Structure 1
């Protein structure tokens, strides 16, 4: 199995955060996918590499700086900044850990293409979101100091996330001067002239870096290029940037002027603040309801950062219908299931055991991750509709339901019901069970009418193939009655629950938990109906 949740190589931080998988490795530190065992949620854990601690005084200074910057960074309240959950410093002062919101997305470096630069609207939409984030940070005040494409992430919904606030301040990466020996710390491709000189850093250093990023997005290449770090830093201090329209003719004149203004060598000659930058970007942003024009389509396979401007505050997308495979022609035998190789069998058994143990601790999120890790390789080896794979998916969906993640469980149960319908028939026990679970998810998501219809349909099938007092039928009758009651349909609920109560008294007895629950519901119904009659 791939390295992930539950492996013996895991490391526990502060007795709470498990390091599961390394996501990135860089000069300032490593980022790990982690898991918060207390709050049952995935997290990102940034291991920051400080310079060698050579004295107790240096250790104390590092500890103070780390805690101060972590607290300040945590004060930036904006959707474009991953939340800081915790800051952990070990006793040796050699390991610093920031525990943050885990963000899935594509780094901006994945958008840069010298052959096909981004559409103007895409580049401007990214820049506008970045300056919005910076406006909140500069108000704290926090200066990023290391803004660059790899520190800017576009989440799946098009939201731009600015990463690593406070890291440069913790490590003092702006202290490198042109005369320094050895490799400079930081990212010299986006370093402002005053940072390169070792001068005082202000919010306008972030504006210079933004100019470098916007230039790169619009023309597909960095502002300056050199093999030697010191030469590169010298270019930022002394060399004139190439105007964008010399590299790409369709860049609007006013946008070229803004980028050149951001790239002025003296901080006081740049725009006054990020609010001014936003106002100058705004004419090039798409407006609400405006669809992309021909030629404005961005790169495939990456999130569209213009969506937030075209459809502001839009609701979540509707769940996509499950992509059902084409059923076999009538009369064609279903292929025999493939045997499970011994090694895969052992990995599947291990995943079940591990997820069960996590489930005992109510660690639902991590239990889902454990099963997800084995489902993909099992599907490749055995087929996506192999019974073993389907059972793994049923267990994963059930855990999501137990953990309250109804939005993720609903499409999974719907797809599973379709798959079991093709394999064993639409009235088979597994197909019925998955349809009922999908209906329960709908009920929890507020889709009560659709849930009732689905549950009644499943109950009709159960009554045709089994007893009305079978365990499956009783559970369905109870769910239908309770949903009717929740809708305020007291009379309809009584029609369902009164005969159910009579059956429960006979089958399970009056002291059974389910019998008592239905009796209490009927008492509420009688009170409600009596009140209506009065």
Structure 2
């Protein structure tokens, strides 16, 4: 699809299109940026060819508005949030602004030579069934369920995409969706869709049966030389029972797939809740380990069973990376190192763009701009070269400014180690990174660790620059304030009182920091934690 003209002009004055990440029958999906809320977004650009006349434009706009509103009503974490719907007055540009999902397509899980464990296939299908139960209650039917519309996020949560082509179950839906061809993808299309008949929640159940069959067998339900012949088979051909393709599939699971794939909608399971109940015996129980024989899935992709084995588990600790993320990084193609002059020019442009974004408080995008040049710079100049470490420091500082302490902390820890190796553990840069990492820990509630780290850094600073250097003063203040936050007022007083005396001598009693410390000491002397007098 050609690059949209609006990529260089923010949509509705706020949404920027950065790069195309997918495309399909209805249009393309772009990675975008919301300049108002400083966050990445997904922007679905509806194909301009879909609107070919003023009459069709009016009908299309009605459909588009309805779909955007209906999609927004499906309140479930497995459905990306709809943030905005933007319609160009000329009807030439139609946009749906949504949550940007970071995940891996279910298509990556289907490998004929490496079949998924039964529990993995059941876990994906059960999560999709859960999403559909919320959608069907609206009521919304998806009508285009397929592996390409399903993502597995890095914590194993399934996200069902593209409910935008779904339509509310109402009597006037037919005239809004009459485009001359059935909606859906032919490999997963229910017989009633092929015939152009009325769709229902059972239409989604048929597609779910196609997907489960494919996950367990590693192959499409039906294949043929033409799209017409595939659709003919969906209407007339009997599916191959799973156990003929894979003998270790449990009989009950084979029966469920055959039930989902019945030709008549009313012959399929009553609802998606029944499907989930029949999948439950094949789902791992809470606390189950992945080490059970046959349960380990493919490497390099998120584990969809994890949310059943560890329900409501906390997010991974800062600095920990999932195996999927590590595999994705290692699988990333390494470009040929560019000439250093070109990289240095790219660094200069990145700094300039980042500075401009920071002027508008666009922290997330400013950090992303710096991040884009770090890898090529590391390849050309060395991972611990001065320029690369400065780029990483700059990005970490932006994360700090934007309040993204979880992103900044592991990077600052890594930078501290890098500067300790290259410049020495007591070098100014190594100390600065350790101190900023400690401040991140304090913001994240790790106050004890933060205090220990700040006191260690202060010991080094005192030995190098004395007790009243700018760095030492800031560290003493931060330590005193953290003691105070912990309710350790005596220790806070013992740190802040000599600090105040030093500041009066060095900066004077009217200095801003001197006054700040004096006010804190006055509050400490009130002894608010003691018994009332």
- Provide the TM-score with structure 1 as the length reference: 0.91
Give distance in 1, aligned partners of 2:494 and 2:111: 66
1:48 pairs with 35, 46, 49, which one?
Answer: 46
Contact kept in structure 2, 1:174 and 1:186, CA below 8 Å: no
Where does residue 138 of structure 1 map in the other structure?
A: 136
Match in the other structure for 1:427: 426
Change (3 A) 1:321 1:18: closer
Q: Could you tell me which residue of structure 2 aligns to residue 254 of structure 1?
A: 252
* Displacement of 1:529: 5.7
Aligned residue for 1:472?
471
| Distance in 2 between residues matched to 1:271 and 1:119, nearest whole Å | 24
Distance 1:441-1:17 versus aligned 2 partners, 3 A rule: same
Instruction: Name the CA distance, whole Å, in 1 between partners of 2:241 and 2:414.
Output: 53
Task: Find 1:269's aligned residue among 264, 267, 270.
Answer: 267
Equivalent of residue 244 in structure 1, options 219, 242, 245: 242
Pairing of 1:208-219 with structure 2 (within 5 A):
208-219=206-217
**CA distance in structure 2 between the aligned counterparts of 1:253 and 1:321, rounded to whole angstroms:** 40
Q: 47-56 or 284-293: which moved more? A: 47-56
Q: Could you say which residue in structure 2 is the equivalent of 1:187?
A: 185
Q: What is the CA–CA distance in structure 2 between the aligned matches of 1:528 and 1:144, rounded to whole Å?
A: 63
**2: CA distance between counterparts of 1:53 and 1:222?**
33
Q: Which moved more, 1:11-20 or 1:280-289?
A: 11-20
1:319 is displaced (CA, Å) by 3.0
Residue 30 of structure 2 aligns to a residue in which SS?
A: strand
State the TM-score, normalized to the length of structure 2: 0.92
Question: Match for residue 523 of structure 1?
Answer: 522
Which string of whole-angstrom CA distances, capped at 9 and with x for unpartnered residues, describes residues 423-479 of structure 1?
A: 111000000000000000000000000000000000000000002111100110010
Contact 1:168/1:174 (<8 A) preserved: no
- Size of the alignment, in residue pairs? 508
1:140 deviates by: 0.7
CA deviation vs aligned residue, 1:182-235 (integer Å, no higher than 9, x gap) = xx6631000110011010110110000000000000000000001211111111
What CA distance in whole angstroms lies between the structure 1 residues aligned with 2:49 and 2:423? 62
Residues 376 and 13 (structure 1), Cα distance of their counterparts in 2 relative to 1, 3 Å cut: same
Cα distance in structure 2, aligned partners of 1:40 and 1:52 = 31
Shift of 1:176: 7.3
Is contact 1:245–1:253 with CA below 8 Å preserved after alignment?
Answer: yes
Contact 1:390 1:416 in 2 (8 A): yes
Deviation at 1:10, TM superposition (A): 3.4
Write the distance in 2 (CA, Å) between the matches of 1:219 and 1:94.
Answer: 43
1:150-169 maps to which residues of 2 (within 5 A)? Answer: 150-169=148-167
Give distance in 1, aligned partners of 2:149 and 2:274.
23
CA 1:33/1:141 → structure 2, altered by over 3 Å: closer, same or farther? same
Match of 2:88 in 1: 90
SS in 1 for 2:33: strand
In structure 1, stretches of 5+ residues that fail to align are 1-7, 323-337
User: Aligned pair in 2 of structure 1 residues 320, 246: CA closer, same or farther (>3 Å)?
Assistant: same
Any conservation in 2 of the 1:413–1:437 contact (CA below 8 Å)?
yes
Distance in 2 of aligned mates of 1:277 and 1:174: 28
Q: Does 1:119 align with 2:92?
A: no
Q: Tell me the equivalent position of 2:505.
A: 506
Cross-structure match for 2:442: 443
Q: Deviations over 1:320-377 (max 9, x none)?
A: 479xxxxxxxxxxxxxxx9982221111011111111111211110011001100011
- Gapped regions of structure 2 (runs ≥ 5): 1-5, 322-336
Paired with 2:123 and 2:159, the residues of 1 have a C-alpha distance of 12
1:465, 1:440 → 2: CA distance? 21
Say which SS state the counterpart of residue 296 (structure 1) adopts: coil
After TM superposition, list the pairs within 5 Å mapping 1:375-414 onto structure 2: 375-414=374-413
Matched, 1:489 2:488: yes
